Structure 1
């Protein structure tokens, strides 16, 4: 079996490179995760993205987690290896995590995160009105692939939250991105672009190097103003936009009660 071609047991249909990378890192097993878009390859930075300690988090990140904790129970959508769940648990905050990757769920559970479920964020395995807050940070909303798809996702977030629910989502504003942004695809519409890439996890198995290749992921990139458009027809009202860096990344806080909307891009 060659190193650059997945074997029969490593088809993209059943592949879970990101989850396997998380579990391998937790177990201190060798392996390397990469993001790939054609010839453009970037390191997956598993330790930095999914296992960073609270001491390295920005004050804005801590503030956001604390604000959501005030509306517990919290659901962490795309919880990965559970770093935010562990932070809430240490502070006695009731939280549940959901991730589409069963292997990531296993990693989170092995790290001590309780109440972690495998599931699709478009059909969350949580009862209607069961939580007070949704944390969906990791640009997952872009996987809606269109404003209509994001709207469907926000409706699902609204379903699982109570009448005073809050949610925090994030994305990239296309006008602020650099030319080297991995997977960038332009769009003629103002404030809209796309991102495409897949993940690969390289590891040694049975004395051979193997590569597990995931399916191509397609994200919608949109400005805060465009993301606000996706809230139309949902119970959500945009409440607050916060910039996290100069590279276009931002977070949008949503509330079910009427609030004054923040500035748009």
Structure 2
């Protein structure tokens, strides 16, 4: 029976013996989901989903390393790897989410309805994503260095807060776009064959899940090493693992990469719609 052991220095990096069963289950689930997304990228050549898929790779690596820590709670490296990969993996999810909105806006010919100029939309949010990735990655690396742990904690919290703020701005941009196109629809947006709304709604669902997960991480680090969230493993799986898995499932069912293959606007259907509107 494994027991919780400290490092040679006497410092406990784990607060509990990580569950090998839960780690393996989540490793397998993320492996299956990520494999599906790899297949979809190969099939549709949807490069905008590459970052999202790499995020899935980060997730299953994080959980498989976490499983290996079951009998190695006195080793620093497994703890560092799983902590780093599970912390920054979702940031890669958001990069693809940002790209999806820009692709939808272009596909329905509604660039003039975007709150941020479409040419800058994806660039702006992806750059903010890269910045938060670097901040959180650097902070996570400092967490395991005793003398730098407090500084690392502050850096990670700052990175998470910036990520949440950036995501809130993104959601506002998405909602404003939908409100504007609802009032002043384009010819492409009213074509029944162009089912762009289902991709937008799936984007909303994934965005909410990522926001919930990020808020959980903010609260977790603010509460500190002796806080309830750090001391109880179920919190990690409930508020981090499950939301990120659902993100992969949602984008697996309503795959954003298919936006590239939305058929061209059916002018006859659009004209019929317009005649009914003015009748």
Say yes or no: TM over 0.5. Answer: no
User: TM-score normalised by the shorter chain: which range applies?
Assistant: under 0.3
Computing the radius of gyration over CA atoms, which structure comes out larger, 1 or 2? Answer: 2
**Larger helix proportion, structure 1 or 2?**
2
**Larger strand proportion, structure 1 or 2?**
1
TM (norm. structure 2) is: 0.26
TM (norm. structure 1) is: 0.27
